[in-house]
Amino acid sequence: MIKKLFLLALIGSILVATAAALSYRHYKQFLEPFPEAVGLGAAGGRTVEMTIETGTPARLILDRLEANGVLSNSTLARLYLVHVLKDPPLQAGHYEFELPATPRAVLERMIDGKVVLETVTVIEGLTLFETAQHLASQGFGDQQRLLDQMNRTDLIADLDPAASNLEGYLFPDTYSFEHGVTEAEVVAAMVDNFRRQAGRLVAGAGARELVILASIVEKEATLDAERPLIAGVYAHRLRRGIGLYADPTIIYGKKLAGTWNGNLTRKDLRTDSAYNTYMRPGLPPGPICSPGKASLAAAAQPSDLPYLYFVSRNDGSHVFSATISEHNRNVEKWQRQYWRDRRAANGR
C-alpha cells in the first residue's frame, strides 16, 4: 500500500513538473515574436491592419488579434495583460501591425493608442471649395459633406459674427488624422488650428477685416519678404478710400459665379460686382481664400512705407512705387515692354 501511494505521488510529481515545464515553454514561446502562425519564417514579414471599434471588450480584441495571426495565444495574452501589465485598457482605432512582433509590443501599442495616422497637406491660397475638393480627392471625406461642414459659422461666431461660411478660417497646414475621420472632425481641426496659429494675431483686432486683407495678400504675394509691403499698399489705399485694384478679388467673384475660365479680361475689370475692387473701394465682402500665417502676420502689421502701387516683375517679385507717374513707368517697363521683348524673342 505504501509503495502504491509512493508511486502515485511520484507520478503526480512528474505530471506537475511536466505541466509546469510545458506551461513555461508555452509562456516563453508566447513572449517571443510570432512569425510561425502566419507562415513568415525567420526573416519574413507582413503587415496586418485592424480596426477596433469603441467599446470592444479586451477579450474580443485579443481573440481577433489571434485570429489575424498577430498573437499566438489570446488566453496567455489576457493573463499577461492583467497580471504583468496591470490590466490597462486597450484603445479603439485603426492599427497597423508589422509582423513579426512580440506580444508586449502589440499590447503596448494598443494601450498607448498608437493608431494609424493618415496625413494631408492643404496649401495656402485655396478657396473653401478648392479645399473641400482637395480633401475629398485625398480620401478625407465626401466633397459635399465637407462643404456642408464648411458652412458651420458657429465654429467662428466669436471671431467673425458676420461670416457666412468658413472661408479664410481653414488654416493651411499638414494634418494627421485617424483612419475613418469624419468630415466634421476634419473641418473642426482646421478651424482649431487657425485659432492656435492666428489667435494672437486677430485678438483685439477686427478679425474679419484682417482675414480678408490677409487673403488678398496671400493671392498677390509669392515672396514672404514682400507680404508686409503688399499689405501696406492696401492699408494705405483703404485709409485714403482708394480702390484696391486687386485682380484676385475679381477672380474669386467669378469663381463664385461659376464663370471663371482662367482668363481675366478688361471686360471683367469693368463689370460691376461685390468683388470688383476696381469699381468698389474698400475690402470685398469676405475672405477670398485661406491665408497662411505669413500673410496673416503681414495684414496684422503692414509696412509703413508710403507705397500705393506695385507691379509684377513676372518672376514672383514686384516693383513698388508711391506715385502714379512712377507706377506708370514701372508698368511700361515690366508689363508692356517685357511682353513685347518676350514676343520678339519668340519670333512672334
Q: What is the pLDDT along the chain (348 residues), one digit of tens a residue?
A: 555 444 444 434 443 444 344 455 556 667 778 755 445 444 457 899 999 999 999 999 999 999 999 998 999 999 999 999 999 999 999 999 999 999 999 999 999 999 999 999 999 999 999 999 999 999 999 999 999 999 999 999 999 999 999 999 999 999 999 988 999 999 999 999 999 999 888 876 779 999 999 999 999 999 999 999 999 999 999 999 999 999 999 999 999 999 999 999 999 999 999 999 999 999 999 999 999 999 999 999 999 999 999 999 999 999 999 999 999 999 999 988 888 877 877 776
According to the model, what pLDDT value does residue 237 have? 97
Global pTM value:
0.82
According to the model, what pLDDT value does residue 28 have? 62
Classified as helix, coil or strand, 52 is strand
According to the model, what pLDDT value does residue 1 have? 56
Distance CA 344, CA 18 (A): 95
According to the model, what pLDDT value does residue 199 have? 87
Distance CA 343, CA 165 (A): 44
- Indicate the fold that domain 33-112 takes in CATH: Dna Ligase; domain 1 (3.30.1490)
According to the model, what pLDDT value does residue 156 have? 95
Residue 112 burial (10 A CB sphere; 0-12, 13-18, 19+) = exposed
| All residues at 6 or more sequence positions from 257 whose CB lies less than 8 Å from its CB, including other chains | 273
According to the model, what pLDDT value does residue 303 have? 97
Q: Which candidate, 305, 303, 336, 306, places its Cα nearest to that of 323?
A: 306
Which residue has 521683348 as its cell numbers? Answer: 341
According to the model, what pLDDT value does residue 338 have? 80
Q: Which candidate, 173, 207, 209, 195, places its Cα nearest to that of 282?
A: 209
According to the model, what pLDDT value does residue 38 have? 45
Q: 217 and 232 in contact (C-beta within 8 Å)?
A: no
Encode pLDDT of 284-310 as tens digits: 999 999 999 999 999 999 999 999 999
Q: Which candidate, 147, 118, 292, 108, places its Cα nearest to that of 215?
A: 292
| The three cell numbers locating residue 13 | 510529481
Neighbours of 72 (CB within 10 A): 21
DSSP E strand boundaries for 136-247: 174-178
Where exactly does CATH 3.30.1490.480 map onto the chain? Answer: 33-112
Phi, psi (degrees; rounded to nearest 5) at 175: -115, 150
| Strand 117-121 with 93-99, pairing | unpaired
